[in-house]
A and B are shown apart, each in its own frame.
Chain A
């Protein structure tokens, strides 16, 4: 991989001119001279202790309230902030959360950009967790995103969207079963029609349904599942470098 692989990005390569450097350095050097040499006293420590105690008291309340938050919700930052702490007990928590959020966003029919970002986040978290079940769940969710894509204009008169096709399949089969097996199954027919998994192969519709034609399915507009990074981590893990204290800049 080299920097020439995406040449359009070269436009972001900057070199500061001498005047800008001199101006910024003057500000930095002035700040370095102004920093007190002695560390802050007890008053600051008391403030920190008070903030920590208040935070510890508020954590459980905020954590419960933020549990079901998804990207865009007011409490979502709280959920993300608490995740590293809760991950001590459940290392796969972040991946599970991202998958849950992705599922909710898909259910809500959120816009494409939001879902793409959610897929990105979920892919990273699942790759970090390195659990096959979570990876399979992510693939199922991405399949749901793919099949919900609307067909192109002009083709809707003869072809139903794939998700509708999937919903129609059990109804057709169910009705067939009822017509053919009524005498045998009377009184013992299933009270609940099982919904098929959304990742069931949409290209193999029942032949009795004239409205369903796999050859006319609209092409998915999202990247196929294969483009998503696999969670098979075969390279050695990188030890985290020593994290500087005060890592997160404060405004």
Chain B
């Protein structure tokens, strides 16, 4: 998945600026805290909104959770990477926590379902890479049941292996593969409709 473009407020910030900003926030400088929020909320919001689609109702809470977690761990920021990347790392964890919880609660599919489904006719990875089809892919994902949408986003946009997904959700790898097979089939049908 390509990165979120820099907002006007972020552009031009150096890592030194970030380190100075973090130091001021840690000193509980209220104006620095406002600058921190103003500079980086757009990036975190974009990152999460793209990945939680269509559950926009959850985006605001998750973005706020990212900033609270950032405050709680801000003293560990060393300026090795830009503050934006550090925050997006937290956001990625929060999104994966959401994916994991959702797939843990989804009903497992019976063995044999995947075998009954037709072979894939669409290369999902290629679709994900093509800018011009992104909008269509997003529309189709929004039409899918949430656990299918999340499974596909986690696997193909976040590039997580089925093994990793299985470990994170406590399900078997076969179970994840069956879920993905059903999700791909639903995606294919809606894509071709």
Q: Do A and B originate from a single complex?
A: no
